[in-house]
Amino acid sequence: MGHTTIVSLTMQILCLTLCSLSLPCSAFTSEHYSDALAKSILFYEGQRSGRLPSTQRQTWRGDSGLSDGSSYHVDLVGGYYDAGDNVKFGLPMAFTTTLLAWSVIEFGNSMHNQMENVKAAIRWGTDYLLKAATATPATLYVQVGEPNMDHRCWERPEDMDTPRNVYKVSSQNPGSDVAAETAAALAAASIVFKESDPSYSTKLLQTAMKVFDFADRFRGSYSDSLNSVVCPFYCSYSGYHDELLWGASWLHRASQNTSYLAYIQSNGHTMGADEDDYSFSWDDKRPGTKVLLSKVFFLNSNVLLEYKNTNDSKPNFFSGPIPQDFLEKKTEEFQLYKAHSDNYICSLIPGSPNFQAQYTPGGLLYKGSESNLQYVTSSAFLLLTYAKYLSTNNGVATCGTSTVTADKLIALAKKQVDYILGDNPAKISYMVGFGQRYPLHVHHRGSSLPSVHAHPDHIACNSGFQYLYSGSPNPNVLVGAIVGGPDSKDNFADDRNNYQQSEPATYINAAFVGSVAYFSAI
């Protein structure tokens, strides 16, 4: 039997297996998902600010922002540019880092030869966030770059001559949202590095605790403190309560310190934990928090079951013996988080009594006209994470009088992932560099301008606009970037001027890393 025939038979068997699991068959194999995983992580090297390492693989990039913070006598070199511009926004950068870490925590076992690359991507974020959090007491630096001035230029990060103003939150000018998200990022990352770099992990967790305490003690939204420079770019529309619960949830996960559970229980009702929300993003953390906390419910339930079966009071994940009545009470309380997680999940399931989502004719989840794929990648990740929790505990999601199995959640997530990778009406991959056809006119300064290696001479602020308006493809391929995506009718304009559809962002990719890691292992 020839090699081609064997491969063909193998693919048929794989497809039959997927179908038997209620997963939709597609043209994508584990090798395709592995390729997408590698590229989705590689993207972050194109977003780096600071001095690039010798291992840099997006070689068209060069060093940039090497004096960030210096005029304020702080070192804020490093971190990520959020999207296609040259500003370092702290809120989306921290959220990106949290999601990258969560991807590793849930699906790292499927990342294999990409583990070191994804850890490097996380560390590039946490190294910067550590600087931002420890440079000055009772202060968190949350932004570098004046966005209004930055957006009036079209220039490479290596050529920046716009003001590199530094912005911070403090006890006098609070920013609980950005501070609590930073705490979440550092806490989640501490789990990632716990075994491979224990001292770094400890530093991350200790700093996370301090930043969270700062966020909670001096409450207020950073949008109020820094309105003109963070709005409308990354204005905290949902307020800061969702970030405080999100941060506390990650600190509990990382530290196993019961005081954070107590904080959630004490503050949840007043901070909107009882409210259902159906959009998980850099701004609104409520659905992600509830899915994260549902794991505590499952753990609680399992411990309670073990107690009932053995009458044992041995230590457990709560770090000490627990009276059974206390455990039963906690299990009942955290049942609410499973119920809220079910409500979120059911809102995405067509035919469910709770169904609230909108899908394009081609089957893509559609939330908004600007960077819609950020909602798709975050929702797919939550579907897979919750499916994992359900499968591990033989559970189902309850949607009214019906139930939804983990397999159905996986199937819906797979539909979204495959759509992004090219299984869509336009037959285009929305990940740059993946597949045969993908966006060529990406709204991204560094990618659209000649690289500093090909064109060493400085390209001034206004001189770069000729490249923005050019009909030519970007000279530098930002491999792995997922763009904003198509509209509600599956239409996509590969147009550099249409930033709503053609601009990539770090937080679009972050959740996708976990999803493609999961499917690469099937």
What residue type is 161 in one-letter code? D
Q: Are strands 88-89 and 166-170 parallel, antiparallel or unpaired?
A: unpaired
Give the end-to-end CA distance of the chain in Å, rounded to a whole number.
25
Selecting among 241, 441, 443, 444, the annotated active-site residue is 443
Rg of the chain over Cα atoms, rounded to whole angstroms, equals: 23
Q: How far apart are CA 189 and CA 374, in angstroms?
A: 21
- For residue 340, indicate whether it is catalytic: no
Name the token pair of 165: 């103003």
Q: What are phi and psi of 170, to 5 degrees?
A: -150, -175
Selecting among 75, 127, 494, 495, the annotated active-site residue is 494
Q: How far apart are CA 361 and CA 485, in angstroms?
A: 14
Q: Are strands 139-144 and 88-89 parallel, antiparallel or unpaired?
A: antiparallel
Q: Which of 71, 250, 260 has the alpha carbon at shortest distance from 165?
A: 71
Helix (H, G, I), strand (E, B) or coil at 216: helix
Burial of 470 (0-12, 13-18, 19+ CB in 10 A): middle
DSSP string over 441-508: S-S-HHHHSPPTTT--S---TTTTHHHHS--SPPSS--TT-B-----TTS-----TT-HHHH---HHH
- For residue 503, indicate whether it is catalytic: yes
- For residue 443, indicate whether it is catalytic: yes
Cross-strand bridge partners of residue 359: 365
Q: Phi/psi class of residue 18: alpha, beta or left (left: φ > 0; alpha: ψ in -120 to 50)?
A: alpha
The alpha carbon of 372 is separated from its chain's Cα centroid by a whole number of angstroms, namely: 14
Q: Which residues are part of the catalytic machinery?
A: 443, 494, 503
